[in-house]
């Protein structure tokens, strides 16, 4: 299992470097595909993946990425209203076939997966995005590694004993500190290329620290959903890691957080 997980992890890193480095339409297409698969995985856990409610969610995911591609950000709120109206209309005209919880789950999934994960592409499209986008990985995957090491070495106090017994406060602190250090070191080498960011080293360290803190909430949130529905993994697409949401759960929260911090740093 460890060898499989390690090999899959290496392949994921290589693919991330190639796809994110290329940016543009390639990253957009992959980001959209990952969002669609992740949405399906979430709906499957919630047991609505093959219902008309889910179909509306999939269409909403596609429509949202269409707005992103054609720079129609100002219409996202209207799209959200239209999606909610469609879901509620279907709920009313098929009553009592579907429960309120299923309707809200379908709406929630679009924003939890598709909208939040889209900020990976949106950060890449920002000025200096070819450099800044890697902060998302430092504060998600980098935080995971640093937290694991710190937890193994110093972990004594459980952070969420019921939800995730192996996670410790010391590990969480180590993850945030490690991610912030990675951001600072990265900016020491590439900060001169970040023309739109004031004080790149401090900005990148702060962005990674905040992103790492939020990424742990994202990881625990995904775990909470799985525990509530008694499933171990969201899927089996990535050998040794599970599904898309098992690997990108923290990035769902990190990507928009990094986007926001960068916007405030410019």
What value does the mean pLDDT take over residues 88-109? 95
Q: What is the pTM of this model?
A: 0.92
Selection from 16-25, 109-118, 256-265 with the highest mean pLDDT: 109-118
What local confidence, expressed as pLDDT, does residue 235 receive? Answer: 81
Which range (20-29, 39-48, 88-97, 239-248) has the least confidence?
A: 239-248
- Average of per-residue pLDDT values in the chain: 91
pLDDT in tens, 180-224: 999 999 999 998 999 888 889 999 999 999 999 999 999 999 999
pLDDT confidence band for 259 (50 / 70 / 90) = very high
Q: What is the pLDDT of residue 164?
A: 83
**Could you tell me the two tokens for 242?**
């599970």
First CA to last CA distance, the chain: 44
According to the model, what pLDDT value does residue 197 have? 86
% of the chain exceeding 70 in pLDDT: 98
Closest CA to 211 of 246, 172, 165, 258: 258
The total domain count for the chain is: 1
Q: Between 164 and 216, where is the model more confident?
A: 216
pLDDT confidence bin for 242, thresholds 50/70/90? confident
Can you give the pLDDT at residue 121? 97
Reported confidence tier of residue 160, pLDDT bands at 50, 70, 90: confident
- Given a contact cutoff of 8 angstroms between Cβ atoms, the answer to whether 243 and 44 are in contact is no
pLDDT for res 1: 56
Q: Which residue has the higher pLDDT, 80 or 233?
A: 80
The per-residue pLDDT for 2 is 57
Would you state the pLDDT for residue 95? 94
Q: What is the reported pLDDT for 226?
A: 92
Q: 208 with 214: CB under 8 angstroms? A: no
The model's pLDDT over 118-133, given as tens digits with 9 standing for 90+, comes to 999 999 999 999 999 9
Domain that holds residue 29: 2-265
Task: Kindly tell me the burial class for residue 215, based on how many C-beta atoms sit within 10 Å of its own C-beta (0-12, 13-18, 19 or more).
Answer: buried
Q: Report the alpha-carbon angle 53-58-64, nearest 5.
A: 125
- At residue 40 the predicted structure's pLDDT band, cuts being 50, 70 and 90, is very high
């Amino acid at each position: 299992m460890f060898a499989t997980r390690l090999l899959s992890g290496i392949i994921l890193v290589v693919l991330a470097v190639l796809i994110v480095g290329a940016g543009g339409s390639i990253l957009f297409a992959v980001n959209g595909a990952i969002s669609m698969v992740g949405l399906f995985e979430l709906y499957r856990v919630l047991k609505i993946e093959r219902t008309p409610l889910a179909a509306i969610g999939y269409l909403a995911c596609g429509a949202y990425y269409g707005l992103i591609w054609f720079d129609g950000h100002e219409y996202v709120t209207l799209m959200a209203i239209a999606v909610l109206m469609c879901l509620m209309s279907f709920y009313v005209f098929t009553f009592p076939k579907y429960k309120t919880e299923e309707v809200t789950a379908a709406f929630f999934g679009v924003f939890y997966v598709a909208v939040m994960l889209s900020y990976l592409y949106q950060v890449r499209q920002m000025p200096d995005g070819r450099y800044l986008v890697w902060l998302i990985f430092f504060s998600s995957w980098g935080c995971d590694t640093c937290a694991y090491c710190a937890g193994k070495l110093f972990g004594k106090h459980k952070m969420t004993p019921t939800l995730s017994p192996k996670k410790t406060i010391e590990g969480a602190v180590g993850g945030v500190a490690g991610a912030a250090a990675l951001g600072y070191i990265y900016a020491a080498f590439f900060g001169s290329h970040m023309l739109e960011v004031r004080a790149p080293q401090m900005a990148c360290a702060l962005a990674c620290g905040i992103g790492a803190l939020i990424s742990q909430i994202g990881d625990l949130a995904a775990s909470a959903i799985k525990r509530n529905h008694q499933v171990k993994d969201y899927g089996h697409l990535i050998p040794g890691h599970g599904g898309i949401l098992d690997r990108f759960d923290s990035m769902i929260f990190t990507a928009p957080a990094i986007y926001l911090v960068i916007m405030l740093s410019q």
